[in-house]
A and B are shown apart, each in its own frame.
Chain A
């Protein structure tokens, strides 16, 4: 016997959160799991109407995206297009129109799939996650949000309120997804990259990858290689080799470890060659 609650404010949401309500955003993952398992929730909390989780704006803390923003809204946002092109590209690869009209950025983060499409973009852009709970608000660097497979720092009584990308955002941004096909498919490997540029040198490189570990990860060894000398074909090859040697993907229904290892290296190589072409 499920009881449902659709609060308009965070304050109104507190009661059902305290009761351990299941948080429902776009439900694109939740409904699949529920239907497959036949499970029933005691309480469900619709987060889509909560005022504090709405809207995309630029303010004093950065590009400030409400957790209930759908990927369709993110794709249409001029502010996101101006500052976070990698996130726009990620949003555009998620499912197709039917999923983008429902799935939210907060849901993608909270669901904590290792293959979540927006996650490497957020990691590359050094996103900060604002959480709201009974003790008030706290901000967590996205980099520390995931602990292990499907486990995050989000407490049962907390909601993801906003996702903030610090500004100025990195000038160099890239995103790539490898799936079985362009639309709908869940990622095998997904990559986000950000950097600043000085001449032919990439600096402050953040290279993030999903689908190759139990949580989205940064590849710091590869970042160091990319920063070590001016961008070139040889550097792209070297970076790809280090990618293949550092990641430990698994075999699963969507792909094999050896395919993921190979393709991850090649995608990083191609991203770097594309950047080189633009220099």
Chain B
């Protein structure tokens, strides 16, 4: 039986009509049109669908809609104000932390949660947080670099000034 559920997504109150056991992943992508969150394995192993639930990273493929009633959900779209990329996202691009991009929305929200708890995380803390999200491109080294550049623990090296897409070349 469909029911109405009220919760907050990226600071905005929403009301969704759906099955109680609908996956938060599908609600976010289909009902709310927030397609930044990706589906990977669909069984909680790859972390690609990570969103923040009351500030904590969770696999949205494993969260039933009826348990989200009253909660705060943050997706990658909620990380930056308006349509701008946030500084964290920009550094991910310029330091090579983004390659194919499939894991990036999950990485960004997870690292946001990490930095909220530990503004200057140790490498071990970073490793532990990102270990729940599979990245097959970067070998994680570029991701570590991007985070450490962002937190001021390391100098920017940069891979490409044009990594942040400004539109088609002239």
Which A residues contact B (CB, under 8 angstroms)? 1-4, 6, 24, 26-28, 31-32, 34-36, 40-41, 44, 46, 48, 72, 95-99, 101-102, 182-184
Contact = CB atoms under 8 A, between A and B. Distances in A.
Contact of B57 (A26, A48, A98): A98
Contacts of A26: 62
Contacts of A98: 44, 47, 50, 57-59, 110, 132-133
A143 B58 CA distance: 32
| Most A C-beta atoms less than 10 A away, residue of B42, B45, B47, B62 | B62
A147 B69 CA distance: 36
Contacts of A36: 43
A43 B129 CA distance: 35
Nearest to B60: A98
A3 B2 CA distance: 8
A27 B133 CA distance: 19
A24 B66 CA distance: 10
Given A31-B61, A48-B67, A102-B58, A95 B132 contact: yes
Given A27-B62, A31-B61, A31-B62, A96 B131 contact: yes
A26 B53 CA distance: 12
A6 B70 CA distance: 12
16 contacts: A2-B21, A28-B59, A31-B61, A32-B43, A32-B62, A35-B43, A35-B61, A40-B21, A96-B47, A97-B113, A97-B131, A98-B58, A98-B59, A98-B110, A101-B57, A102-B62
Contact size class for B?
20 to 34
A31 B132 contact: no
A42 B66 CA distance: 14
Nearest to B53: A101
Contacts of A2: 1, 19-21
B31 interface: no
B43 A27 contact: no
A99 B66 contact: no
Chain B interface, >50% SS class: mixed
Contacts, number: 96
B132 A4 contact: no
A3 B1 contact: yes
A96 B1 contact: no
B139 to A, nearest CB: 14
A26 B21 CA distance: 12
A101 B56 contact: yes
Nearest to A41: B21
Interface in B16-70: 19-21, 23, 42-45, 47, 50, 53, 56-59, 61-64, 66-67, 69
B116 interface: no
Given A1-B1, A2-B19, A96-B128, A31 B58 contact: no
A28 B20 contact: no
Given A32-B43, A46-B67, A95-B44, A3 B62 contact: no
A183 B134 CA distance: 10
Contacts of A6: 66-67, 69
B3 A183 contact: no
Contact of B131 (A27, A32, A72, A183): A183
A99 B131 CA distance: 11
Contacts of A40: 21
A44 B20 CA distance: 8
A36 B47 CA distance: 18
B46 to A, nearest CB: 8
A6 B21 CA distance: 13
